[in-house]
């Protein structure tokens, strides 16, 4: 198996040689496991005082001939036996696989102009025309076929960069000589192009922003499956350790309506998010990051959601000083009544419970836990705290969508016969 054939959540182990500075190549073992990048090699040391090699950035050539560049390495372990054989284990933050090179110039790892991404559930980007197109290819078994398809969603300016966002599909269909079997290789990707090359650090920010937008809509943990970067000198495939240990969320409910919503509103969501990125910034990140961290205590999770609601009010409604209860009520009432009713039903909350009573409880809850109140607030509403967490997340999401210019409500897209049910503590990761 080659690195060119795997995704970020796969596992692979390859033998090859490592080039460290101007030294002779060293036989090595490169192991990758769902974001963990580790290089191991042995070296004969003349004495225990020998300096260890500079391994921060090295080149590795696999037994398959793949050229791999390992970046930001640190020693994990160094052992030396009695015969002076020293074993090095190094872990790396980034692995760059060279796909193609356009010149004999030194490969540039600093700036790129094209980003191709693949995330969990990227099939959500499929449009009806593309689905029909694929069906026609599958039905027609008479010939081989190869095509790169692209569908432009939007173009916009962000942080002095001009960006265009498309989805792209590389489709390869092979027919054997007897026309009896055929194979379709279909890999959807989200493509971001820029007129000027972008710094690698800024690209990392963009990659996480797009992943967070998807997580925001689907309300689930997602992972980056593939990253391809391209500049004037080369095309690279990237593996990283930034998502090591993240487990994707398995949806407990049918989310087809969310996928359809996203396809219909993708351009509005992207444009609205980046247009309001200064206002959203940390609030949006906290909202999404709550999906990716383990919450051992429901109290801290609920406090975080209350802070998000308060922050949204300050950024989008009023910066004037107001009591928390008033802020929460105004956020609740900003959402349309029909949408509010569906949020109540989705979280198993009685429609007779007033938002004013919920806001009062949340204010007392925050004061007790954040300001060390003397008495724990008595709950006058029959709603469990874990249900309130989901309830506030739904309101926050609808509030954000409306304020960034998305005319359609996400939860309002739920079909009328959607199986609402009372949630329990198992439905939220605490």
CA distance 344 to 420: 10
Q: What is the dihedral of CA 416, 418, 421, 424, to 10 degrees?
A: -130
Q: What average pLDDT does this structure show over 216-233?
A: 89
Q: What average pLDDT does this structure show over 196-220?
A: 88
The predicted model scores a pTM of 0.82
Domain boundary among 34, 68, 101: 101
Does one domain contain both 236 and 337? no
Does one domain contain both 286 and 416? yes
Higher pLDDT, 193 or 340: 340
CA distance 302 to 297: 9
- Residue 247 lies inside a defined structural domain of this protein: no
Does one domain contain both 97 and 177? no
Residue of 247, 241, 203, 243 whose CA lies nearest to 95: 241
pLDDT at 430 (0 to 100):
37
Does one domain contain both 351 and 234? no
The residue segments making up the domain with residue 324 are: 276-427
Q: What average pLDDT does this structure show over 100-112?
A: 80
Burial 235-258 (b: 16+ CB within 10 A, else e): bbbbbbbebeebeebeeeeebebb
Does one domain contain both 292 and 423? yes
Q: What average pLDDT does this structure show over 64-88?
A: 92
The tokens for 332 are 């609740």
Q: What average pLDDT does this structure show over 149-166?
A: 74
- Residue 265 lies inside a defined structural domain of this protein: no
pLDDT at 263 (0 to 100):
79
- Residue 41 lies inside a defined structural domain of this protein: yes
Helix or strand or coil: residue 304? helix
The tokens for 292 are 């990716």
Higher pLDDT, 75 or 368: 75
**N-to-C CA span, the chain:** 38
How many structural domains compose the chain?
Answer: 3
- Residue 70 lies inside a defined structural domain of this protein: yes
pLDDT at 253 (0 to 100):
61
Question: Tens of pLDDT along 310-324?
Answer: 999 999 999 998 899
Domain boundary among 240, 261, 290: 240
Does one domain contain both 207 and 95? no
Question: Tens of pLDDT along 34-65?
Answer: 999 999 999 887 655 566 788 999 999 999 99
pLDDT at 163 (0 to 100):
78
Does one domain contain both 321 and 235? no
Does one domain contain both 88 and 115? no
pLDDT at 123 (0 to 100):
59
Phi then psi for 312, rounded to 5 degrees? -60, -40
Res 98 pLDDT > 80: yes
Higher pLDDT, 262 or 352: 352
- Residue 156 lies inside a defined structural domain of this protein: yes
Tokens 């094209």 belong to residue: 114
Does one domain contain both 93 and 119? no
The Cβ of residue 344 has, within 10 Å, a number of other Cβ atoms equal to: 18
The tokens for 5 are 């054939």
Does one domain contain both 293 and 420? yes
- Residue 42 lies inside a defined structural domain of this protein: yes
Average model confidence (pLDDT) across the chain = 83
Res 425 pLDDT > 50: no
Question: Tens of pLDDT along 132-157?
Answer: 555 555 555 555 656 666 767 778 77
Residue of 338, 420, 410 whose CA lies nearest to 387: 420
- Residue 348 lies inside a defined structural domain of this protein: yes
Give the CATH number for residue 8. 2.40.10
Does one domain contain both 224 and 330? no
Does one domain contain both 297 and 396? yes
Domain boundary among 101, 136, 164: 101
């Amino acid at each position: 198996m080659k690195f060119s054939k795997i995704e970020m959540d796969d596992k692979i182990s390859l033998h090859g040689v490592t080039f460290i500075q101007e030294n002779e190549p060293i036989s090595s073992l490169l192991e990758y496991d769902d974001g963990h990048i580790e290089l191991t090699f042995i070296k004969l040391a003349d004495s225990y005082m020998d300096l260890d090699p500079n391994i921060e950035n090295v080149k590795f050539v696999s037994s398959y001939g793949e050229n791999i560049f390992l970046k930001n390495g640190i020693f994990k372990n160094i052992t030396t036996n009695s015969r002076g054989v020293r074993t090095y284990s190094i872990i790396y933050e980034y692995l760059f696989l060279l796909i193609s090179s356009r010149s004999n110039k030194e490969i540039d790892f600093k700036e790129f102009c094209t980003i191709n991404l693949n995330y969990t559930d990227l099939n959500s980007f499929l449009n009806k025309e593309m689905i029909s197109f694929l069906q026609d290819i599958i039905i027609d078994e008479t010939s081989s076929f190869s095509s790169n398809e692209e569908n432009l969603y939007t173009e916009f300016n962000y942080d002095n960069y001009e960006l265009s966002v498309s989805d792209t599909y590389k489709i390869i269909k092979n027919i054997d000589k007897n026309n009896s079997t055929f194979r379709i290789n279909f890999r959807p990707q989200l493509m971001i192009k820029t007129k000027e090359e972008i710094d690698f650090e800024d690209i990392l920010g963009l990659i996480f922003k797009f992943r967070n937008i998807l997580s925001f809509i689907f309300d689930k943990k997602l992972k980056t499956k593939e990253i391809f970067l391209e500049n004037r000198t080369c095309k690279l495939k990237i593996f990283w350790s930034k998502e090591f240990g993240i487990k994707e969320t398995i949806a407990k409910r049918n989310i087809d309506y969310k996928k359809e919503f996203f396809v219909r509103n993708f351009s509005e969501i992207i444009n609205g998010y980046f247009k309001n990125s200064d206002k959203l910034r940390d609030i949006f990140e906290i909202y999404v990051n709550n999906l990716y961290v383990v919450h051992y205590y429901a109290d801290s999770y609920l406090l975080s959601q209350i802070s998000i609601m308060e922050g949204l009010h300050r950024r989008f409604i009023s910066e004037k000083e107001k009591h928390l209860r008033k802020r929460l009520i105004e956020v609740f009432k900003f959402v349309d009544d029909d949408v509010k009713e569906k949020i109540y039903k989705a979280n198993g909350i009685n429609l007779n419970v007033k938002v004013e009573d919920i806001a009062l409880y949340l204010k007392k809850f925050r004061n007790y836990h954040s300001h060390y109140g003397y008495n724990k607030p008595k709950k006058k509403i029959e709603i469990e705290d874990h249900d309130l967490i989901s309830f506030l997340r739904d309101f926050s999401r609808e509030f954000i969508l409306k304020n960034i210019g998305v005319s359609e409500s996400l939860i309002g897209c739920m079909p009328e016969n959607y199986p609402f049910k009372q949630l329990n503590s198992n439905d939220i990761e605490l």
